[in-house]
Amino acid sequence: MSAQRKLRLGMVGGGEGAYIGNIHRNAARLDNAWDLVAGAFDVDPEKGRAFALSEGIVDDRAYSDYKALIAGESTRKDRVDAVAICTPNFTHYPIAKALIEAGFDVICEKPMTATLEDAVTLEKQVRESGRFVGVTYTYSGYPMVHEARVRIANGEIGKVRTAQVEYPLEWMATGIENKGNAQAAWRTDPQKNGRGGSIGDIGTHAYHLAGFVTGLKLESLTADLATFVDGRALDDNAHVMMRYEGGARGLLWSSQVALGNSNGLKLRVYGEHGSLSWFQEQPNELIHAPLDGHTQIIKRGAEGLCEAAQVRTRTPPGHPEGYLEAFANLYTGFAEAIHAQKQDRSPQAIAQHIPTAYDGLKGVAFVEAVVDSSEAVDQPWITPVAV
Ligand code: NAI
């Protein structure tokens, strides 16, 4: 990528003790594309300001809340170029809406909003405003995920028949939301999380990954949600059957209660003459099984990989890259997309195939459809005769 000035980043949420904010900060720094210069990092204004100062942010850019951030930054010559939203789901919409109205670009966590209505309104606002909004569908930052996408688009496994995707986690296998776990507390509150529990939190990643790699467009779905932890208000396990346009089928499982799975995201795509498999815990490898039985492990960094994989690779094969690098690929892609937009030119490869507001909308629409399907009274459950 040619030299560009560093973009100025602001952040809302992601303060002391928060999970994803620190990942964003590390990702933004990795390729020197961003400087974190402003923030409203916490729902508690004083804690947020103290955290900003501890991050080296100057006093007058350590804001008490996002409204103060917008007011303060709007009048500065060196105002932030974009603001990352790292707060619980229900706050994404009002914060993103206000930022776009004030003329800022946005990097928004998934799910883009907590309701479909907000997602539809926000995506329209983004289109009409011309602002850039990137949505952090993390797994589309991995080089070998791009390699799989390009190979499928080039017909390497033939017409896709099925996409099997699963995203099991174990951390919510007991009622930790009632024992002081802040992350679990808002994730199990429908007002703060939205209607989809595991499906909104991680199923949305799995749905995006399967669609991104296969290029398939979802036609319809049927779903079965379950809540295994007593007293929990939202699903903690979801099974979804999908029909894609053109006849391909999909099967998606998301779970927050699957003991033994730290972060078990797995995608397997089966075509007419081969399959490709990618497992998030071994992200440097892609498994290709062609019809002739000569299964091959394709390694990140190897010669001959597609340009989209190469531009997302920093180290040679054998020196593993992972989650932070994938997240950094998104951040560097977002930076390049913003530069290209400012300079009215086409974006370079790192900013192509990056997740934006339309992906955010599709993700929320998927979650809504899953919950609607599971709640539908006429869902066809048939008991076999021999039972
Ligand atoms: P968290 O509970 O660890 O952190 C939330 C932070 O937001 C806290 O610092 C809290 O004080 C702050 N906050 C809440 N309301 C605020 C407001 N109105 N203004 C300013 N700050 C506010 O949550 P976590 O796990 O970091 O999740 C945050 C978001 O990131 C969620 O939307 C979640 O779905 C998403 N996420 C995405 C991941 C990915 O792979 N892309 C992984 C984990 C979370």
The mean pLDDT value for 228-237 works out to: 98
87 CA distance to ligand 1 middle (Å): 3
Q: What is the model's pLDDT at position 381?
A: 81
Strand order in the sheet with 285-290: 218-226, 237-244, 249-255, 160-168, 266-271, 274-279, 285-290, 296-299
88 CA distance to ligand 1 middle (Å): 4
Q: What is the model's pLDDT at position 94?
A: 98
109 CA distance to ligand 1 middle (Å): 8
The mean pLDDT value for 145-157 works out to: 98
Pocket test for ligand 1, best of 69, 83, 86, 167 (most atoms within 8 A of CB): 86
pLDDT band with cut points at 50, 70 and 90 for residue 2: low
Q: Convert the pLDDT of each residue in 42-78 to its tens digit.
A: 999 999 999 999 999 999 999 999 999 999 999 999 9
Pocket test for ligand 1, best of 43, 51, 188, 323 (most atoms within 8 A of CB): 43
Q: Convert the pLDDT of each residue in 293-325 to its tens digit.
A: 999 999 999 999 999 999 999 999 999 999 999
Q: What is the DSSP letter of 62?
A: B
Q: Answer yes or no: is pLDDT of 160 > 60.
A: yes
Distance set, CA 356 to CA 2, 18, 208, 222, 269 (Å): 23, 24, 11, 26, 24
Alpha-carbon distance of 367 to 265, in angstroms, equals: 18
Q: What share of the chain is helix, strand, coil (3-state, %, to 5)?
A: 40, 20, 40
91 CA distance to ligand 1 middle (Å): 9
Residue nearest to atom 4 of ligand 1 (CA): 18
Residue 220 φ/ψ, nearest 5 degrees: -160, 165
Residue nearest to atom 38 of ligand 1 (CA): 20
Residue nearest to atom 40 of ligand 1 (CA): 138
Measured from the CA of 89, which atom of ligand 1 is nearest? 32
Pocket test for ligand 1, best of 109, 135, 212, 334 (most atoms within 8 A of CB): 109
The mean pLDDT value for 4-22 works out to: 97
Q: What is the model's pLDDT at position 25?
A: 98
Q: Answer yes or no: is pLDDT of 1 > 70.
A: no
The mean pLDDT value for 270-274 works out to: 98
Q: Answer yes or no: is pLDDT of 333 > 60.
A: yes
Helix (H, G, I), strand (E, B), or coil: what is residue 343? Answer: coil
Residue nearest to atom 12 of ligand 1 (CA): 13
18 CA distance to ligand 1 middle (Å): 6
The mean pLDDT value for 274-280 works out to: 98
Contacts of 5 (CB under 8 A, 6+ apart): none
Among residues 126, 132, 135, which one has the least CA distance to residue 86? 135
Q: What is the model's pLDDT at position 174?
A: 98
Q: Answer yes or no: is pLDDT of 376 > 80.
A: yes
Q: Which residues line ligand 1 (CB under 6 A)?
A: 12-15, 18-20, 40, 42-43, 65-66, 86-89, 91, 109-110, 136, 138, 182-183, 201
The region, left, alpha or beta by phi > 0 then psi within -120 to 50, assigned to residue 63 is beta
